[in-house]
C-alpha cells in the first residue's frame, strides 16, 4: 500500500488526504460537533471566535463550527450519488455506442450534442422547476446534465479500444455487445473513467453549492455550505468566519479532487487535455 | 474542404433544432396549468377552456412546436406570460447587456491567460510554473459566488470605486451600465482564465517536447523564433476549443454572477423566467444559448481547420479522427461548471 501511494506522487497523496479529511469530518459531524447545528441562541448572536464557539456564531447565534462540519453532509452525499450515477451511465453508454459504431452511435451523439448545447444551469433549473427541489430531484438533474458530457469523453477513448484485436476476437467468438462492452472495452478505458470521475465530482460539488446559494437545494435552517454563504455574506465584516468557514471547507475539497485527478492522470498516463493527440 | 464545411453547418443546424425540441418538450412537462395560472384560482372551467384555446394550448404538442419553430425562425418568440410584452425585444436587450460584460471578459482573460499559460509551459516545474499552476487551481476551486460576495463587500464598504450592485433595469443605456460591468468582469475573468491557463500550459508543454520543435532548436534557431513561429500556432489549437466553450457559456448568461451583482443580463432573465414559469422566455433563452454554443464551437472548428492543415482532410482519415478526439477532450477539460 505504501509503495503504491509513493508511486502516485505527492500531488495525488495531498489530493486524497484533502478529500479524506473532508469526508471523515462530514461523516463524523453529528458526533464531533459541540452544538446542535440548527439550534439558535439569540443571546450569543454574531460573536467572534471564543473558547465556547471556536469559529464564532452567526446572526441567529448558531455555532459556525458545528454548522460547517455538518454543512458538507448534504452537498457531499448529493455529489457522490450524482457523480457516481452520471459517470457510470455515461461510461457504459459511451463504450456501447463506440463499440456499435453505427446509426445508433450517430443518433445518441446528436442528442448528446443537443443536450450539451443547452446551458447547464438552465437545464438544472428546468428540472428543478418541474419536480421541485428534493434531494433525488437534484441528483436526477445533475445526472441529466453530466451524463452526456461523460458519454462524449468516454466514447472518444473507447473508439480507439474497440478496433483492437481482442475486441475483434471477442466478436469472432460470437459474444454479444453487452459482455464485450463490460469485459473487454470498459476495463481498458477505466483510467479515463477514473480521472473523469474526480473532475466531474469537483464540478458537481461546486454546482450543488451554487444551487443552494441561489435558493434551490438545501432548505433553511439546514446547515449547508452554499446556504451558509448566502445567509452570512451580508454580515461578512461582522463575522467573517461564518462565511470563510464553509468556503475553506468547500475549496479544500475541490482542490483535493483536482489534485487527485491530476495525479491520477499523470500516473495512468491520461492527460485530460491531450489524449488522442499522441 | 467546402463539403466538410457544409456538412458541419448542417449538423450545427440539426443540433440547434434538436435542442429546441428537447427544451420544448421538457417545458410542456412543467406542472401547473398556464391558463389557470393567468386567470387565478376563481376562474370557471369555461373561461379556462377559452383561455387555453386562445393560447393555443388545446392543439397537439407537435403542431405547437412546429408553429413555434416557424415563428422563431422569423424572430417571433411569442409573448411573455407575465408582462405580456413580445419576447424578442426583451431577449435582445438582455443579450446586449450580457455582451457588455462578455466582451471585456474574453479580451482580458484570453490575453492574460495565454501569456501566463505559455510562460508556465516554457518554465515547466520551475517556481514560476508552480506558482501560476497553484493560483489557477485555487481560482478554479473558489466558487464564483464567494468571489462575487467578497468583491461586493470590498467595493461597497472599502473602496467605492465601482457600484457594487446594479440598480438600473435592463433598459439602461450602455453608458449607464458601463461603470457597473467591471466587478462582474473581474469575477468572470478569474473563473475563465483558470481553465484557459491550464489548457495552454498543458498544450505548450506537449508541443515543446515534440520532434519538430527539437528539429527547430537543433537547426540553431533563436528560442524566441522557435516559440513564436513554430510552437505557438500548434499549442494554441486545443486552447481554441476551451475559449469557444467559455465564450458560449458567458453569452448564455452567467446566472450566479449576474444574480450577485443584480446585473440585468441573460442569466437574470433566465432565473426570473424559471421562478415565474414564464415558458416562452425559458424556451427563447434556451434556443438562443444553444445557438450561441453551437456557433462558437463551429467557429472554433473552422479556425482550427484554417490553422491546421491536418484537419482539412475529409472524415475517415486517422488524423481527422485523432484531431477530433483531442478536440472533444479539450472541450471537456474546459467546460468548467458553467453557471
Residue-wise pLDDT tens digits, B277-313: 788 888 888 888 888 888 888 888 888 888 777 766 6
Q: Angle between the A225-232 and A64-100 helix axes, to the nearest 10 degrees? A: 130
Residues B18, A114: C-beta atoms closer than 8 Å: yes
pLDDT (tens digit per residue) in B175-198: 777 778 888 898 899 888 888 898
pLDDT at A272 over 50: no
pLDDT at B107: 92
Confidence tier at A269 by pLDDT (50, 70, 90): low
Residues B274, A129: C-beta atoms closer than 8 Å: yes
**% of chain A at pLDDT higher than 90:** 15
- The pLDDT of B63-74, averaged and rounded, is 84
Confidence tier at B221 by pLDDT (50, 70, 90): confident
Confidence tier at B36 by pLDDT (50, 70, 90): low
Residues 130-149 of A with CB under 8 A from B: 130, 149
Q: Angle between the A64-100 and A10-32 helix axes, to the nearest 10 degrees? A: 130
Confidence tier at A221 by pLDDT (50, 70, 90): confident
pLDDT (tens digit per residue) in A26-39: 888 888 877 777 77
Q: Is A197 on the interface with B (CB under 8 A)?
A: no
CATH of domain A2-35+59-273: 1.10.3720.10
| d(CA B128, nearest CA chain A) in Å | 18
Confidence tier at A278 by pLDDT (50, 70, 90): very low
Residues B337, A272: C-beta atoms closer than 8 Å: no
Residues A114, B19: C-beta atoms closer than 8 Å: yes
Q: Which of B143, B153, B294 sits opposite A210 (nearest CB)?
A: B143
Residues B333, A113: C-beta atoms closer than 8 Å: no
pLDDT at A79: 93
- What are the sequence ranges of the domains in chain A? 2-35+59-273
**Which comes out higher in pLDDT, residue B102 or B174?**
B102
- The pLDDT of A118-142, averaged and rounded, is 82
Q: What is the mean pLDDT of chain B?
A: 79
Backbone angles phi, psi at A63, to 5 degrees: -70, 120
How does DSSP assign B293-327, residue by residue? Answer: HHHHHHHHHHHHHHH-GGGGSPTTSHHHHHHHHHH
pLDDT at B97 over 80: yes
Cβ A228 vs Cβ B145: under 8 Å? no
Q: Whole-angstrom Cα distance, residue B311 to residue B307?
A: 9
**Which comes out higher in pLDDT, residue B147 or B325?**
B147
Residues 244-263 of A with CB under 8 A from B: 247, 250-251, 254-255, 258-259
pLDDT at B327: 42
Report for A67-76, A90-99, A164-173, A215-224: range of highest mean pLDDT: A90-99
- The pLDDT of A126-139, averaged and rounded, is 81
- The pLDDT of B232-254, averaged and rounded, is 81
- The pLDDT of B222-250, averaged and rounded, is 82
Q: Is A126 on the interface with B (CB under 8 A)?
A: yes
pLDDT at A276: 33
Q: What angle do CA A8, B242, B261 make, to 5 degrees?
A: 105
**% of chain A at pLDDT higher than 70:** 94
Confidence tier at B31 by pLDDT (50, 70, 90): low
**% of chain B at pLDDT higher than 90:** 4
Contacts of B252 in chain A (CB under 8 A): 119, 122
DSSP class of residue A234?
A: G
**Which comes out higher in pLDDT, residue A9 or B215?**
B215
Residues B339, A237: C-beta atoms closer than 8 Å: no
Q: Whole-angstrom Cα distance, residue B150 to residue A243?
A: 10
pLDDT at A94: 92
By C-alpha distance, the chain A residue nearest B27 is A126
pLDDT at B330 over 70: no
pLDDT at B154: 75
pLDDT at B35: 67
Region of B76 please: left (phi>0), alpha (psi -120 to 50) or beta.
beta
Confidence tier at A274 by pLDDT (50, 70, 90): very low
Region of B85 please: left (phi>0), alpha (psi -120 to 50) or beta.
beta
How does DSSP assign A11-51, residue by residue? Answer: HHHHHHHHHHHHHHHHHHHHHH-SS-TT---GGGTT----S
Report for A177-181, B45-49, B321-325: range of highest mean pLDDT: A177-181
Cβ A70 vs Cβ A29: under 8 Å? yes
Q: Is A226 on the interface with B (CB under 8 A)?
A: yes
pLDDT at A1: 46
Q: Whole-angstrom Cα distance, residue B8 to residue A113?
A: 13
Compute CA distances B224 → B169, B213, B221, whole Å. 50, 12, 8
**Which comes out higher in pLDDT, residue A1 or B162?**
B162
- What are the sequence ranges of the domains in chain B? 10-73, 87-307
Cβ B151 vs Cβ B183: under 8 Å? yes
pLDDT at A12: 85
Confidence tier at B323 by pLDDT (50, 70, 90): very low
Question: Cα torsion for A20, A22, A28, A34, to the nearest 10°?
Answer: 150
Residues 6+ apart with CB under 8 A from A179: A170
- Within 10 A of B232 (CB to CB), how many other CB atoms are there? 15
pLDDT at B30 over 80: no
Residues B16, A117: C-beta atoms closer than 8 Å: yes
Beta bridge partners of A130: none
| d(CA B67, nearest CA chain A) in Å | 21
- Please state the CATH superfamily assignment of the domain spanning residues B87-307 in this structure: MetI-like (1.10.3720.10)
Residues A274, B206: C-beta atoms closer than 8 Å: yes
pLDDT at B162 over 60: yes
Q: Which of A126, A230, A276 sits opposite B282 (nearest CB)?
A: A126
Contacts of B142 in chain A (CB under 8 A): 247, 251
pLDDT at B40: 67
Contacts of A113 in chain B (CB under 8 A): 11, 15, 18
pLDDT at A88: 94
Residues B198, A237: C-beta atoms closer than 8 Å: no
Residues B277, A129: C-beta atoms closer than 8 Å: yes
Residues A275, B329: C-beta atoms closer than 8 Å: yes
Residues A125, B274: C-beta atoms closer than 8 Å: yes
Residues 6+ apart with CB under 8 A from A149: A90, A116, A200, B332, B335
pLDDT at B148 over 70: yes
Amino acid at each position: 500500500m505504501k509503495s503504491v501511494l509513493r508511486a502516485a506522487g505527492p500531488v495525488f497523496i495531498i489530493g486524497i488526504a484533502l478529500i479524506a479529511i473532508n469526508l471523515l469530518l462530514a461523516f463524523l459531524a453529528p458526533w464531533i460537533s459541540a452544538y446542535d447545528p440548527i439550534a439558535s441562541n439569540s443571546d450569543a448572536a454574531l460573536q467572534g471566535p471564543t473558547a465556547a464557539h471556536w469559529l464564532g456564531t452567526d446572526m441567529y447565534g448558531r455555532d459556525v463550527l458545528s454548522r460547517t462540519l455538518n454543512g458538507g453532509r448534504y452537498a457531499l452525499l448529493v455529489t457522490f450519488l450524482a457523480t457516481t450515477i452520471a459517470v457510470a451511465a455515461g461510461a457504459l453508454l459511451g463504450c456501447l455506442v463506440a463499440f456499435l459504431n453505427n446509426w445508433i452511435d450517430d443518433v445518441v451523439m446528436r442528442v448528446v450534442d443537443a443536450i450539451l448545447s443547452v446551458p447547464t444551469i438552465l437545464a438544472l433549473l428546468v428540472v428543478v422547476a418541474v419536480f421541485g427541489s428534493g434531494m433525488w430531484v437534484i441528483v436526477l438533474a445533475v445526472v441529466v446534465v453530466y451524463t452526456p458530457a461523460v458519454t462524449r469523453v468516454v466514447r472518444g477513448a473507447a473508439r480507439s479500444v474497440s478496433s483492437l484485436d481482442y475486441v475483434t476476437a471477442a466478436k469472432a467468438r460470437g459474444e454479444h455487445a453487452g459482455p464485450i462492452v463490460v469485459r473487454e472495452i470498459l476495463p481498458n478505458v477505466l483510467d479515463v473513467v477514473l480521472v473523469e470521475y474526480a473532475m466531474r465530482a469537483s464540478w458537481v460539488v461546486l454546482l450543488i453549492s451554487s444551487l443552494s446559494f441561489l435558493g434551490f437545494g438545501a432548505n433553511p435552517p439546514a446547515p449547508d455550505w452554499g446556504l451558509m454563504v448566502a445567509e452570512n455574506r451580508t454580515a461578512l465584516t461582522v463575522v467573517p468566519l461564518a462565511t470563510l468557514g464553509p468556503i475553506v471547507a468547500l475549496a479544500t475539497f475541490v482542490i483535493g479532487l483536482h489534485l487527485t485527478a491530476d495525479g491520477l492522470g499523470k500516473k495512468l498516463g491520461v492527460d485530460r487535455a491531450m489524449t488522442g493527440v499522441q | 474542404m467546402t463539403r466538410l464545411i457544409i456538412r458541419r453547418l448542417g449538423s450545427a443546424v440539426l443540433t440547434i433544432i434538436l435542442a429546441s425540441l428537447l427544451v420544448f418538450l421538457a417545458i410542456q412537462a412543467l406542472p401547473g396549468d398556464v391558463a389557470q395560472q393567468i386567470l387565478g384560482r376563481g376562474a370557471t372551467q369555461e373561461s379556462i377552456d377559452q383561455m387555453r384555446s386562445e393560447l393555443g394550448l388545446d392543439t397537439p404538442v407537435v403542431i405547437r412546436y412546429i408553429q413555434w419553430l416557424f415563428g422563431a425562425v422569423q424572430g417571433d418568440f411569442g409573448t411573455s406570460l407575465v408582462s405580456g410584452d413580445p419576447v424578442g425585444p426583451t431577449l435582445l436587450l438582455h443579450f446586449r447587456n450580457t455582451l457588455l460584460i462578455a466582451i471585456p471578459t474574453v479580451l482580458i482573460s484570453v490575453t492574460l491567460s495565454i501569456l501566463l499559460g505559455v510562460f508556465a509551459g516554457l518554465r515547466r516545474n520551475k517556481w514560476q510554473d508552480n506558482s501560476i499552476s497553484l493560483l489557477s487551481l485555487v481560482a478554479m476551486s473558489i466558487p464564483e459566488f464567494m468571489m462575487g460576495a467578497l468583491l461586493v463587500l470590498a467595493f461597497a464598504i472599502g473602496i467605492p470605486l465601482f457600484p457594487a450592485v446594479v440598480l438600473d433595469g435592463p433598459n439602461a443605456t450602455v453608458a449607464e451600465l458601463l461603470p457597473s460591468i467591471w466587478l462582474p468582469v473581474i469575477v468572470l475573468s478569474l473563473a475563465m482564465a483558470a481553465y484557459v491557463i491550464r489548457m495552454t500550459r498543458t498544450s505548450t508543454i506537449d508541443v515543446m517536447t515534440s520532434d519538430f520543435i527539437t528539429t527547430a532548436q537543433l537547426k540553431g534557431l533563436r528560442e524566441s523564433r522557435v516559440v513564436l513561429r513554430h510552437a505557438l500556432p500548434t499549442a494554441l489549437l486545443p486552447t481554441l476549443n476551451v475559449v469557444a466553450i467559455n465564450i458560449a457559456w458567458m453569452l448564455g448568461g452567467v446566472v450566479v454572477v449576474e444574480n450577485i451583482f443584480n446585473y440585468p443580463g441573460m442569466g437574470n432573465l433566465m432565473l426570473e423566467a424559471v421562478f415565474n414559469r414564464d415558458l416562452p422566455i425559458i424556451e427563447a433563452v434556451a434556443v438562443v444559448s444553444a445557438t450561441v454554443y453551437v456557433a462558437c464551437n463551429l467557429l472554433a472548428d473552422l479556425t482550427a481547420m484554417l490553422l491546421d492543415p491536418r484537419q482539412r482532410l475529409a472524415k475517415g482519415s486517422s488524423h481527422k479522427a485523432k484531431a477530433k478526439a483531442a478536440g472533444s477532450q479539450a472541450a471537456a477539460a474546459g467546460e468548467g461548471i458553467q453557471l
